[in-house]
């Protein structure tokens, strides 16, 4: 066996870092009369393993890459449809001009809005109504293939993140050329106690020009022992995709408790309209975190959604019937390496 | 390229170790009139690659994880149905209380009984009759998904290993809730020249409460130049799975020969009953190992099974007709890193 | 996170090196009226990640292994049909006698001829006509499963590379036993400014003894600022596979330009005969490379093929109609780690 010793990153020309995160919990889900006891994973953060590297090219220029795969430790398989490096997989250059990267990458909307939800990427939090399609399809997805991305340098707290991505078409003509393509821009502001973001993102969903668009904004304010969060998004279908509209918003707070404990609360609501299947829901989540170290955290959490009569949004594995309200209670551990 | 230098494990707070094993051989299998010459892998030990880590949390507490995948070096693909970390994939805590881990893990029966067979995990040894289903299905499997496992501290040579695992059901009611669930307990004793184990393991196989159970015991005694082994298991089906019974036993010896050479011999027998297709067989194996170093071993081996008229147990890739006796001769190399 | 620091390889008994390459480009392909703009990968060299290791066994003997997977950074998935270590996956021993390795490995033809094409492994270069099947199937493939390979020591600049590989059959009798089997031998000469190779390779394609064979030779000569290349292959089908014949040749040059710049040019032609679908084509490629460092290279390239009326050889993703001529223009980055 060949250990990788934990050491300060080389001051030299190039370095590669191996890292990861494993998050497993015991939980019970309910929805209508159904009940499911499970060992699941990736609640606070998706379980991952990866390599990231950086080579100093001189004159402030550097080559950078990230290869990061998601996996399910409860069964040992890759996530993201079995992809090896399905979470992030890109290479690029950065320097005084900013950063240009190519490959499978986070969308500008995700980079900007995810940190502005108190229960962030948590897998079964109510806040995920922002990214869920009921009858209306959001353009707010976490990551896209074939993306060219530009990140600006930060200037007086302001920065921008912009990406264009290409669908996996064969050769084609006319509208079909844009099927699966998309673009997004995020404006970010960070300064002292305030963090804010404004985003727009569009995806061409079909070969006849139908597309979906998500606009969003988010804000976090740090009051000291409490950090408050608010975010809202608007989804709009157009063309052959339909004429659906949706608005979501969520508010939340992160409370730093005595000792190495944190409580994160969020409430979210999704209202769909202009669509036959318009599905509305709201819900809330509470996550209690106890840090054993910087790397290792125990947690317990509860989440529930209230579906209106037409809606069947899920939390986790159970597929509720229309109007049934899913909930989940869980306890687990997250370990970073 | 970024080398991982072989170094002593960091005395610091956390470390990750990369390790693996590649085992490839040339072999010829026979069964009835069929013959197959092959390049195969994982004979002495399954080919694997993985990461294991440990973080010291203070007060004797530590976070631990293992991510280990099996792969087939003759074609380059993942084993365990294509899973990335299909051999072991868990995270947990250990301390004075023992060790609690969650994820895909070895069964208590495997942890206890596998070291008590002279030809252990060897892929085409006769000893594997213990884990093979003819007409009767054993609960003795190597690993399960979704396991919560507890390992006790060792006390005067005694320790215990207990696990409960959950099937991958959707939401469900009544008996169906337990489909795929199972549990196992192993009691282990190790002291000087003696090693002993006692296990029981049960798996719910269907949605109507049908289940299989395996009980087993094993013993190894070290006579100095010879280490002797004996193990026996009993499989019992109940409920809607059937009423089959099976008894297996195997005996073996590991002979330390002059020079860095070892000869491992085993004889095993499986008797099934109370089942229409009750299939009986017995067989023996001989493995000769020559160590080039602690990490690298050359080996040659022979295995054969004698199937009774209704049985068609296989050794490796050929599927014998009922009553045909498979055999295999092989020579290969195992390298650990 | 646990960094692997870039360090000199251990002088000790064993070492494992982690390495990789990411190559991504933006490109536009054309063929007939079709056009495709894409983010693609692996143009100059296939994107890869891997581990290679070496253990010193004393007396000049060493154990060696390589586990190397191909992946597509534009989507994050494994290449080679989703295999984890699909590029190379072998273990073996080397010493004064040469080197014997078992597993999935490069074919002798690839090892010998690929470095003798000015645009080498480039994914959409005209030179790949050598390995493309129109109506006639070449035995010149890059890698095979289940290979036993021997590489001789070098003597006065001469060396040899020989392999035999086994198809993935079940047990079988007669001709079927050789289905998928193959063998190849390459003679290599390297001395000062000259590099030369002579190869032959045969693969049994079906269960009735039909087979294909490729013979080839290649030459590179270093004139200083220009390195010139020439190679030719001949494919012959026999038995139940058909009676097709094909000849390919390609010539090229690598020009070292002022600064860290290189221009590689190649022209290739494939002539098929004795086959109903005999497809002929020729084409050329130009690759311009600008090194930012030893590890990181920017590139721009153009390739085109001229298909005769019956041929539809492709360059990349577009599938041309018969007689249509594909071309591609691209710009990208290759980063090694």
Question: How is domain A24-41+106-147+154-336 classified at the CATH fold level?
Answer: Porin (2.40.160)
Among B179, B183, B184, B159, smallest CA distance to B169 is for B179
CB contact burial C84-100 (16+ within 10 A = b; e otherwise): bbbbbbbbbbbeeebbe
| Residue C61 sits at the chain B interface (C-beta within 8 Å) | yes
| Rounded Cα distance, B138 and B130, in Å | 8
Q: Does C85 touch chain A (CB under 8 A)?
A: no
Q: Chain C residues with CB inside 8 Å of B335's CB?
A: 55, 63, 65, 91
> Contact at 8 Å (CB) between A205 and A178?
no
Ranges of residues in chain C whose predicted pLDDT is under 70: 1-12, 170-175
Of A53, A88, A337, the CB nearest to C337: A53
**Which value does ipTM take for this structure?**
0.94
Query: How close does chain B come to C275, measured CA to CA in Å?
Result: 32
Q: What is the dihedral of CA B9, B11, B13, B19, to 10 degrees?
A: 10
Q: Is A182 on the interface with C (CB under 8 A)?
A: no
Q: Do A18 and C38 touch (CB under 8 A)?
A: no
The answer to whether A309 contacts chain C (CB < 8 Å) is no
**C35-336 CATH pick, 3.40.50.720, 2.40.160.10, 2.40.30.10, 3.90.1150.10:** 2.40.160.10
Chain A: residue nearest B89 by CA? A73
Pick the residue from chain C with its C-alpha nearest to B41.
Answer: C103
Show pLDDT as tens, one digit a residue, over chain A (337 residues). Answer: 454 433 334 445 788 999 999 999 999 999 998 889 999 999 999 999 999 999 999 999 999 999 999 999 999 999 999 999 999 999 999 999 999 999 999 999 999 999 999 998 888 999 899 888 889 999 999 999 999 999 999 999 999 999 999 997 666 666 677 889 999 999 999 998 999 999 999 999 988 889 999 999 999 999 999 999 999 999 999 999 999 999 999 999 999 999 999 999 999 999 999 988 889 999 999 999 999 999 999 999 999 999 999 999 999 999 999 999 999 999 999 999 9
Across chain B, the runs of DSSP E, i.e. the strands, are: 2-5, 14-31, 34-41, 48-58, 61-72, 77-78, 88-95, 98-106, 143-151, 158-165, 182-191, 194-204, 211-222, 226-238, 245-257, 261-273, 281-291, 296-307, 327-336
Mean per-residue pLDDT pooled into runs of 10, chain B (337 residues): 43 80 96 91 95 94 97 97 97 98 98 93 90 90 97 97 88 72 97 96 91 97 96 95 94 96 97 90 97 96 96 93 96 96
- Cβ within 8 Å, pair C39-A69: no
Question: Which residue ranges make up each domain of chain B?
Answer: 25-336
Closest Cβ opposite residue B73 in set C89, C171, C337: C89
At residue A121, the pLDDT reads 82
- Residue C175 is predicted with a pLDDT of 64
Is B91 within 8 Å of chain A by CB? Answer: yes
Task: Return d(Cα A223, Cα A192) in angstroms, integer.
Answer: 11
Q: How far is C73 from chain A (nearest CA, A)?
A: 5
Which of 272-291 (C) contact A at CB < 8 A? none
Nearest to C57 among B3, B23, B293 (CB): B293
Tokens of B145: 């998904």
Question: How close B249 comes to chain A (CA, Å)?
Answer: 31
- E-only strand ranges, chain C: 2-4, 14-31, 34-41, 48-58, 61-72, 77-78, 88-95, 98-106, 143-151, 158-165, 182-191, 194-204, 211-222, 226-238, 245-257, 261-273, 281-291, 296-307, 327-336
Residue C90 C-alpha, separation from nearest chain B C-alpha, in angstroms: 6
Identify the residue among A82, A89, A144, A164 best suited for mutation to test binding to C, counting C beta carbons within 10 A and taking the highest: A89
The 10 Å Cβ neighbour count of residue A59 is 9
Contacts of C84 in chain A (CB under 8 A): 84
Q: Which residues of A touch B8 (CB under 8 A)?
A: 3
Note whether B84 contacts A74, CB cutoff 8 Å.
Answer: no
Asked whether the beta carbons of residue B170 and residue A36 sit closer than 8 angstroms, the reply is: yes
Name chain C contacts of B15, Cβ cutoff 8 Å: 2
**Cβ of A170 under 8 Å from any chain C Cβ?**
yes
A245: nearest Cα among A269, A283, A275: A275
- Determine, for residues C6 and B2 on separate chains, whether the beta-carbon distance falls below 8 Å: yes
Contact A271, A280 (CB under 8 A): yes
Q: Tell me which fold the domain B25-336 belongs to.
A: Porin (2.40.160)
- Please count the other Cβ atoms lying within 10 Å of the Cβ belonging to residue C60: 10
Measured between alpha carbons, how far is C184 from C163 in angstroms, rounded to an integer? 5
Contact C15 B4 (CB under 8 A): yes
Q: How far is CA B110 from CA B246, B330, C333, in A?
A: 18, 25, 49
CB within 8 Å: B76 and C53: no
Nearest CA in chain B to A52: B2
Nearest one of B104, B190, B26 to A76, comparing CA atoms: B104
Distance, CA of C25 to CA of A103 (rounded, Å): 9
**Chain B residues inside the 8 Å CB shell of C67:** 20, 22, 49, 71, 73
Q: pLDDT tens, B269-289?
A: 999 999 888 899 999 999 999
Contacts of A337 in chain B (CB under 8 A): 14, 16, 51, 53, 55, 65
Tell me the residues of chain A between 221 and 240 that have a Cβ less than 8 Å away from chain B. none
Extract the tokens encoding B324.
């045909």
Identify the pLDDT of residue B6.
36
- Cβ(A188)–Cβ(A115) under 8 Å? no
Residues of C in contact with B37 (CB under 8 A): 166, 177
Task: Encode A16-54: b = buried (16+ Cβ within 10 Å), e = exposed.
Answer: bbbbbbbbbbbbebbbbebebebbbbbbbbbbbbbbbbb
Contact A174, A164 (CB under 8 A): no
CA–CA gap between residue B215 and residue B201 (Å, rounded)? 6
CA-based nearest distance C79→chain B, Å? 11
CB contact under 8 A, B83 and A74: no
């Amino acid at each position: 066996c060949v250990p990788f010793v934990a050491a300060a990153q080389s001051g030299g020309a190039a370095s590669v870092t191996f890292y990861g995160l494993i998050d497993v919990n015991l939980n019970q889900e309910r929805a209508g009369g159904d009940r499911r006891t499970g060992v699941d994973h990736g609640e606070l953060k998706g379980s991952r393993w990866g390599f990231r590297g950086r080579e100093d090219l001189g004159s402030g220029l550097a080559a950078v890459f990230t290869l990061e795969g998601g996996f399910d430790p409860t069964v040992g398989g890759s996530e993201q449809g079995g992809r090896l490096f399905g979470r992030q997989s890109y290479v690029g250059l950065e320097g005084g001009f900013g950063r240009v990267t190519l490959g499978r990458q986070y969308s500008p909307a995700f980079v900007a809005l995810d940190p502005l939800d108190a229960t962030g990427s948590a897998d079964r939090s109510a806040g995920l109504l922002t990214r869920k399609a009921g009858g209306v399809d959001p353009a707010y997805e976490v990551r896209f293939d074939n993306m060219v991305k530009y990140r600006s340098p930060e200037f007086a707290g302001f920065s921008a993140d912009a990406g264009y991505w290409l669908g996996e078409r064969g050769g084609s003509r006319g509208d079909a050329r844009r099927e699966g393509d998309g673009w997004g821009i995020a404006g970010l502001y960070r300064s002292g106690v305030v963090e804010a973001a404004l985003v727009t993102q569009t995806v061409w969903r079909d070969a006849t020009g139908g597309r979906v668009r998500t606009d969003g904004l988010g804000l976090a304010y740090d009051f000291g022992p409490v950090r408050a969060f608010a975010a809202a998004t608007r989804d709009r279908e157009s063309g052959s995709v339909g004429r659906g509209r949706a608005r979501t918003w969520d508010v939340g707070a992160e409370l730093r408790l005595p000792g190495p404990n944190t409580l994160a609360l969020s409430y979210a609501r999704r209202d769909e309209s202009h669509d036959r299947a318009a599905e509305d829901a709201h819900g809330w989540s509470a996550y209690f975190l106890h840090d054993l170290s910087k790397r290792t955290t125990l947690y317990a959490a509860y989440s529930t959604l209230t579906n209106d009569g037409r809606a069947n949004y899920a939390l986790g594995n159970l597929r509720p019937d229309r109007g049934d309200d899913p909930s989940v209670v869980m306890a687990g551990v997250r370990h970073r390496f």
